[in-house]
Amino acid sequence: GASGGAMAARIPTLAVALAAAAGWWALAGRGFVGQPAARRPSRTAMAVEQITTGTGKKLPVYGERDPLPKGFGIRTGLSDLLKPLNSEYGVTAKKDSVATYVVLLFGIVMLFLFYTLLLLINNQSVLLPPEDEFDEYVANFLPYFFFGEK
C-alpha cells in the first residue's frame, strides 16, 4: 500500500515537469518575432503605381518618401497607405449655411434632453414600469399619451 501512494504522488509531478519542459522548449527556440522578414515572391509583391490625388497633386510612389524630421513620428507602411486620405488637409467649405447651424443646434438640444432623461431615470424622478409590464407599456404609450385613459 505505501508504494502505491508514492507512485500516485509522482504522476502529477511528472506531468508538471513534462509541461514545464514542453513550455521551455516552445519558448526557447528562435521565435517568429526576432526573425527578419522573409522576402515575398514577385507574384505576391504589392503593385507599385503613381497616385494622383483629387487636387491633382502627385504623391510619391508607395514606400518612397523623404525621411521625416527628427521627432516627427514613426514612418510605417500604414502611414504611406493613409497619406492619400489626408491630401486635402486644410481645405474647408466656403461658408456654412443657416441650415447647418439649425441642425447643429437641434442635435445639441436633443442630446441635452436625452442626458436629462437618463439623469431623471437614474435619480428615480421618472419611474419606469416594472419589467414584466414594460412591453405593454411601450405598446400603449402613444394611444395613452394622445387620448388618455379609456
pLDDT of 32 > 60? The answer is no
Give the mean pLDDT of 27-42. Answer: 62
Per-residue pLDDT tens over the stretch 44-59: 555 556 667 677 777 7
Give the mean pLDDT of 72-85. Answer: 80
Per-residue pLDDT tens over the stretch 92-114: 777 778 998 999 999 999 999 99
Per-residue pLDDT tens over the stretch 111-148: 999 999 999 988 988 888 888 888 888 888 888 878 87
Give Cβ neighbours of residue 140 (< 8 Å, ≥ 6 apart).
Answer: none
